[in-house]
Amino acid sequence: MAKSRNNLLGVGGQRKKLSRADQQGAGSARVADRKVAEDKKQELVRKMRERAEAQTAATAEPSAEQDASSAQS
């Protein structure tokens, strides 16, 4: 028997499963959670950059001091 070409059920990929809250329009908690997570990530990235800059500055200072002291001698 030939396949039916008129039945397009299931064509077009999968849909996201909606929770009851999302179905009822109370899905704003999910958006808020994503915003909080993004804020935490940005704060972590900022702290890591500050630490990296401080560490590079600390490693650059002793070598600069050594160059200055050897130039004075």
pLDDT confidence of 72, banded at 50, 70, 90? low
Q: Per-residue pLDDT averaged across 4-27, rounded?
A: 68
By the 8 A CB rule, do 19 and 27 touch? yes
CA distance 47 to 33: 21
Q: Write phi, then psi, for 67 (nearest 5 degrees).
A: -65, -40
Is the pLDDT confidence value at 60 over 70? Answer: yes
pLDDT single digits (tens) 26-54: 666 777 888 999 999 999 999 999 999 99
Residue recorded with tokens 């009822």: 24
Is the pLDDT confidence value at 3 over 90? Answer: no
Is the pLDDT confidence value at 20 over 70? Answer: yes
By the 8 A CB rule, do 23 and 17 touch? no
Q: What is the pLDDT of residue 64?
A: 58
Q: What tokens were used for 37?
A: 């997570």
